[in-house]
Amino acid sequence: MRQYYGAVPLRTQKTQKGQQLEYSQQRRSPRIRLQVPVFLRAADPSGVEFIELTKTLNISSFGACITSAHLLRENQVVQLTVPAPSPTSSSLVPNETPPISAKVLRQEVVGDTRLFGLEFLRPLE
């Protein structure tokens, strides 16, 4: 099955758990179609900093596609953190993951939604 993200043709394949993998010849690793809530920390084009709770649409060890209500610039570095569940009685569980730095590679508008292709500055392990 082929889909298109921007101008890059993608093929999808289902995993044993029913998740969809997307890949093309340009990808260093397959992307998993997975919605993960993330806090996006960045600055808009006028320089005003913001924090937005948004989500990934797909993710790999090298990057992700996210949605955002804000405008981001190409090559802009942004920070993503994944919120963690509230600690019950232990303070050993952090409220969020350490920040993941990413660079905006491209953007696309689909209807009322802005999609941003991000490349992580350090691959996820």
pLDDT tens digits for range 10-58: 444 444 455 554 444 455 678 899 999 999 999 999 999 999 999 999 9
Q: Which residue has the higher pLDDT, 43 or 5?
A: 43
pLDDT value, residue 40:
97
pLDDT tops 60 at residue 109: yes
The pLDDT tens digits for 49-106 are: 999 999 999 999 999 999 999 999 999 999 999 987 766 655 555 567 789 999 999 9
Domain ranges of the chain: 34-120
- 10 and 2 Cβ atoms separated by less than 8 Å: yes
Burial of 22 (0-12, 13-18, 19+ CB in 10 A): buried
* pLDDT at residue 53, as a whole number: 96
Q: What is the DSSP letter of 76?
A: -
Count CB neighbours of 1 within 10 A: 9
State the fold for domain 34-120.
Thrombin, subunit H (2.40.10)
pLDDT of residue 93: 53
